[in-house]
Structure 1
């Protein structure tokens, strides 16, 4: 195993461990009944202070919610790429390894999201359409930060046109930054929910990235 690939995999694993530690801390540090209907929130002092500072901006929530369809569309594009390769090559083993790993990666991201939907760590600071919704980790932030880097990574591997490549790089960075900042200040998540998404998505992506590079070296 080459040093760079090994370091990437190790860093990704460390990020996932930090996410697990962060999840435990959220349930044990400064826990107060300050959430909707008196639900417990960890790091209550920090979360309440930040929420009061930013306020609630439903228009930001609505915009970022709709823009959350962009990474879903990107997932569908790569799904079509894999399906076309499967049909043409008539064997799953002949589909590009990085596309197969990408499919597995997307499944893991969805699995992570579903786990926390079924086992809520905490709830949003406000009601959404009159309902309490799970808030940790921020699902939109997780989706964006998990999928958008894969777009840049695949573009780097598959597109030779420099202008197109750097144009997509710029779009990826700006879109991701807008979505994460927007979701942070919209007031529909606690600050710790955003931090949890950053840790989880970063860990998963780095492991995917390292796995693809390792596969390249072994071919």
Structure 2
């Protein structure tokens, strides 16, 4: 039997039990009077691995926008207590015009070339593969490059947020992505419907969001 790929990453230094995120009776939405989330309370402590599931329209994207500060709650309070990194479906943390290597050096300017190449090699970007332009990568390769650039640096963020990471995950990337996430010792929040992926990365808690009532059509 083939041994699964293993990845070694620097530690985040996140203490066990430290509060990472707290939402206290939060409501939020985009149409006045019709919240997508109502009275939601949630706490994540290190190094929990939490999966957010639910049907389309249940508020998963809204929840991520609240956590990252892209959306303000209409009521309640959101408290993020530690640095966080988010990898969305476009992996917007990367500059698509630059190579993987240049993105890594942009995010970690203190790292020399040898350390950069060693970090990228952990995610299977070796030699000329590290020189690929991000905009030319497949969806799975881009996610793998994002994880390499965010997690393989000298000080990985203690909280990582992933939005539907397996939507574009190709066969060549899935093993490296799962191995990297297993090696990560910080807190993890993942929006995903992929049960096999969630099991592979060791999810410890699941939160299922229910769909809200749809907004009423305007009276004409």
Given the two structures, how large is their TM-score scaled by the length of structure 1? 0.28
> Looking at both structures, which has the greater relative contact order when contacts are Cα pairs under 8 Å and sequence separation is at least 6?
1
Given the two structures, how large is their TM-score scaled by the length of structure 2? 0.28
The structure with the greater share of residues assigned to strand is: 2
